[in-house]
Amino acid sequence: MKRRPKPTFWLMGCEKLKIVRFERSSSDVWNRLVDESPEAWLHHRTEWVELQTSLFKNESFMIVSDESEPLGIFVVYRSDPGPWWSFGTCNFFTGWGGGPATARGLSKKQRRVVVTFGLDYLKERAHVCRASHLEVRLPSLARVHLPPLRNDVNPLWEYGFSALPRIGSVIGLARLEGVGTPTMVVDLQDRGEEQLFASCDHDCRNAIRKAMRLGVTCVQDDGPGGLEAFHDAYKASHIHSGTQGRPLAFFQGMHRNLSEKGWLKIFLALHGEKPVASLMLLCYKDAVTYAAGGLDYDAHALSANNLLVWETMRWAKQEGKKWYETGLYFPYLREDTKLARTGKFKREFGGRAFLVFDGLSIYDWARYLERILLEETYAWRRRRSIKQIADADS
């Protein structure tokens, strides 16, 4: 395969760069940059960006030279105020893991100029849209953020970003804490299945053996029927925990955009013929991530979730993948919350904790504080309602 030549431009300033909005860019050019860039992952592909535009306003763009040479992309969305936002604030954010990704072959200096140019453009857009801030989360499974290329210094710091707000703050006063969010990533390389199994913690290994002993089996079903079975378990988990999950239509969109290309996989745990747990993987380049899952809590004692994660780890290794991300956990949350319990589960499979590279850039402090005050008030009222319902049921 013939290698593309490295970009030969030399940037002395920003006057040689241009912005091409996502809707005006070529999807082939955009996706080729994503495939080749060590800073990009699946959440940068046009198929994913188009999926998110059903939920948010798309502010993504490509940065090109004056000769239309693609130098970088920036995946970013705009969250406009809903009907209950009385002050009309909005913000920019990158979702699960977008942000800037530059073309392969750029020097460190060239990358910095390209990213700075993109951030300056976003600042101008923020003024037009009255956006209060920008939240960036870089993709944890991009090659540059994994060994041996990983540098544990957050690359966003050099662009003036501060720590991203954390979940569970009180009236926004703790939202600028320098507390990082770790994600657990299992290294599938250079280890056999026995070694991978031994790296799981003691309780997890026992749970996997228990599920096998009780007759739980795991199957892959990437079709529409598998998607519906996945969502049934997913919905049951959220109903049990009193939280709100994504509707089936959202996952059907993911299935349409990603499944045919092999980027979305669905696995079910069966007890007899009944699905009792489900798991959705996103797969791209040499890594996979646990995107979503569910459990029928009537079958909780079967430990089907443990077996399901283990079997998908085995599948990923057999497919030649190098990394398996079980996902984020939140050490700053109360232990009795759903996210904290889920995070504890994700730490059981022998992964290594990597801090997610994320950051916050505030455009308008008044609008930012106004927004988080409303967010905190809404969250407090929601928690109070859930507690009142639980007290009434008891």
Domain ranges of the chain: 17-173+358-384, 186-355
For the segment 80-84, the average pLDDT, to the nearest whole number, is 61
Q: Work out whether the CA dihedral 370, 121, 77, 146 comes out positive or negative.
A: negative
CA torsion, ordered 218, 221, 227, 231, to nearest 10 deg: 0
Q: Work out whether the CA dihedral 18, 21, 26, 27 comes out positive or negative.
A: positive
For the segment 178-192, the average pLDDT, to the nearest whole number, is 87
The model's confidence at residue 283, banded by pLDDT at 50, 70 and 90, is very high
Q: Which CATH superfamily is domain 186-355 in?
A: Gcn5-related N-acetyltransferase (GNAT) (3.40.630.30)
For the segment 166-191, the average pLDDT, to the nearest whole number, is 66
| pLDDT per residue as tens digits for the range 125-160 | 999 998 999 999 999 999 999 999 999 899 999 999
Is the CB of residue 309 less than 8 Å from the CB of residue 291? Answer: no
**Phi and psi at residue 347, in whole multiples of 5°?**
-85, 0
CA 208/CA 306 separation, integer angstroms: 6
* pTM for this predicted structure: 0.88
DSSP letter assigned to residue 200: S
At residue 378, the pLDDT reads 67
Third-level CATH fold of 17-173+358-384: Aminopeptidase (3.40.630)
CA 240/CA 243 separation, integer angstroms: 8
For the segment 16-39, the average pLDDT, to the nearest whole number, is 97
Is the CB of residue 77 less than 8 Å from the CB of residue 95? Answer: yes
| pLDDT per residue as tens digits for the range 88-101 | 578 999 988 899 99
Matching fold, domains 17-173+358-384 and 186-355: yes
CA distances to 91, 100, 249, 321 from 176, rounded to whole Å, are 16, 22, 35, 36
CA 339/CA 335 separation, integer angstroms: 8
